[in-house]
Structure 1
Amino acid sequence: MYPIVKKRVLNETVTLMEIEAPLVARKAMPGQFIIFRIDEEGERVPLTIAGYDREKGTVTIIFQKVGYTTEKLDSLNEGDSLLDFVGPLGEPTKTEGINRCAVIGGGLGVAIAYPQAKALHDAGAEVDLIVGFRNEHLIILKDELEAACTNLIIMTDDGSNGNKGFVTQALQKQLDAGRNYDTVIAIGPLPMMKAVCDMTREPKIKTIVSMNPIMIDGTGMCGGCRLTVGGETKFACVDGPDFDGHLVDFDEAMARGRMFRPEEAKAREKHICRLTGEER
């Protein structure tokens, strides 16, 4: 069992948890992920490692309540435990050779962008961190983000923080101003990452995207996380999650991402009583 030693509500839909998992914490690196299971009947869900403390033996995860399992996870509190917490999985973020970088995070992708930006910043790279939220009330980890970069730009869809627009517009503004990036890293919704790759393709800026499709086992056996990258089949769990964004078939990835929406809706309907709102 893996005890929850800390729970922190970041906003109305996003929660941070610190999990006691010393063996995972000992090996964890930025960019890697874990797969958790709440109980014997629970599904296996991947989450990016948002942080780790080797001395305390803990791993930090950040999740958004988007389905039955994440809603059930959010119902747990400090002192409760998870049945499975497997990792670290995937390839860590590569910081070698990156001197000036833009890290783009959209929505919950900010939780993944943070450890990658921090790793690059700690390695001595000049990092512009551009993150986006729907409104100022959904902004998370502001202090941590500021400490993990050279320059922080926070955009909101409605402009409620005084900086209206999308992360792609902020990136274009930086490029128009002459910012000479050797690498751009984009993390977030697939349409956003695709748009970033379209922007950086012509100027030939190396662009890395973090692909987080549905996974089951995390070892490449189930094939659920397969992607087409450069015309070849890759598996996000073992070959990624980071890939060359200019080679990813985003249209295929987005189509696959929509495949299980009916099943997720049925799962929520099965477990939540429509009259009382209580779990059955």
Structure 2
Amino acid sequence: FTIIIHKGARLADLIALHEDYRIGDVLGPLGQAFEIRNYGTVVCCGDGVGFVPIIPVIRALKQAGNRVVTILSEFTSETSCLRANVEPYSDVILHSSEEAATLELMDRVLTEEKVDLTVMTGPTPMMKAIAECTRARQIPTRCILNMVMLDGVGLCGICRVMVDGKRMLTCIDGPVFDAHHVDFDQLQNRQRHFV
């Protein structure tokens, strides 16, 4: 049988197994962890429901001593509940109801502040535009990709993305990538096939 170890798994369950008991497979956690440390000032940007994957990153970055500026894109009555999840961990919260306004907010923050890192998740065109903006300013930028995945262990290949001209799999090589090296045009083209 297969034991899937997840964040809530208990070590006691494994310790309780008798000697010579065989475990067929152990699966998890998948992917690569986001490096949490004190970068300085970090801008975290996400949109709507797609903002959810960045919430634990915001919390951890604040707990590591960073100054966190949070930008909520596609802020509506349906997504306003997300604000409460990041308020305790954000020094500044900005929000917009549309992508163009989000890019203007990002540009304003990058102009007014000394930003040490940008972290983003959301629609591919928005991430591409932010990556171009931060590349011009030489600000390190990480993107958290939210890809369609079937197996989560790299067998199906549906979550592949080109990074520095190399094929990477979001499920095992990601989901966090250096946004300045992601081929967002290729990514957007692939995503059209899996809508």
* Bigger share in helix: 2
Residues 241-260 of structure 1: per-residue CA shift (max 9 Å, x gap):
00010110111111111113
Partners of 2:46 and 2:54 within 8 A in 1: yes
- In 2: Cα distance, 1:100 partner to 1:134 partner: 23
Aligned to 1:118: 59
Q: How does 1:18-167 map to 2 (within 5 A)?
A: 23-26=5-8, 87-133=28-74, 135-157=76-98, 166-167=101-102
Residues 26-50 of structure 1: per-residue CA shift (max 9 Å, x gap):
47xxxxxxxxxxxxxxxxxxxxxxx
3-state SS in 1 of match to 2:29? strand
Partners of 1:220 and 1:238 within 8 A in 2: yes
Q: Which amino acid aligns with 1:203?
A: R
* Bigger share in strand: 1
- Under a length normalisation based on structure 2, what TM-score does the superposition of the two structures give? 0.82
- In 2: Cα distance, 1:111 partner to 1:138 partner: 10
- In 1: Cα distance, 2:8 partner to 2:92 partner: 30
Aligned to 1:227: 161
User: CA offset at residue 103 of structure 1?
Assistant: 0.3
Residues 96-153 of structure 1: per-residue CA shift (max 9 Å, x gap):
2522100001122211121111110011111101111253443222222101211111
Q: How does 1:235-246 map to 2 (within 5 A)?
A: 235-246=169-180
User: CA offset at residue 225 of structure 1?
Assistant: 1.0
Partners of 2:5 and 2:29 within 8 A in 1: no
Matched residue count: 176
Partners of 2:38 and 2:64 within 8 A in 1: no
Structure 2 residue 187 is the aligned partner of structure 1 residue 187 = no
Q: Which amino acid aligns with 1:254?
A: Q
Larger RCO of the pair (alpha carbons < 8 Å, separation 6+):
2
Provide the alpha-carbon RMSD of the alignment.
2.1
- Under a length normalisation based on structure 1, what TM-score does the superposition of the two structures give? 0.58
Aligned to 1:252: 186
Aligned to 1:170: 105
| Sequence identity percentage | 31
Q: Which amino acid aligns with 2:131?
A: C
Aligned to 2:14: none
Partners of 2:124 and 2:184 within 8 A in 1: yes
3-state SS in 2 of match to 1:259? helix
Partners of 1:114 and 1:148 within 8 A in 2: no
- In 1: Cα distance, 2:55 partner to 2:183 partner: 25
Q: Which amino acid aligns with 1:188?
A: G
- In 1: Cα distance, 2:56 partner to 2:77 partner: 21
Partners of 2:49 and 2:79 within 8 A in 1: no
Q: Which runs of 5+ in 1 are unaligned?
A: 1-21, 28-53, 55-85, 158-163, 262-280
User: CA offset at residue 216 of structure 1?
Assistant: 1.4
Q: Which amino acid aligns with 2:149?
A: M
- In 2: Cα distance, 1:212 partner to 1:189 partner: 9
